[in-house]
Amino acid sequence: GGVSGMNVVTFDGSGFLPPVSVYFGGLPATVLSLEVNQLTCLSPPHSAGVVGIQVVNADGVSSDDFFDQFEYKFPSVLSVWP
């Protein structure tokens, strides 16, 4: 996703409990929707590189961010017209 954030990211899984918090490289994301088996959020702005993602339920149970990763990239220009 882009370094400016605002990337829509959907997680499929199980046991998501409200309220839930999502972190990209330690920075909080904006949760858009939450169901027991699916969570959708907007990534926060971050510098380029690969970061861990952590999902924390209201009961304090969190995912292992070692396996859940997200790559921030700078936009690339493919062509320029006149």
Burial of 53 (0-12, 13-18, 19+ CB in 10 A): buried
Report how far residue 21's alpha carbon sits from residue 3's, in angstroms, rounded to the nearest whole number: 20
CA–CA dist 9, 46 (Å, integer): 15
Report yes or no: 69 and 53 within 8 Å, Cβ to Cβ: yes
Among 16, 65, 8, residue whose Cα is nearest residue 38 = 16
Q: What is the pLDDT of residues 16-27, one digit of tens each?
A: 888 999 999 999
pLDDT tens-digit series, residues 37-53: 999 999 999 999 999 99
Q: Which pTM does this prediction carry?
A: 0.85
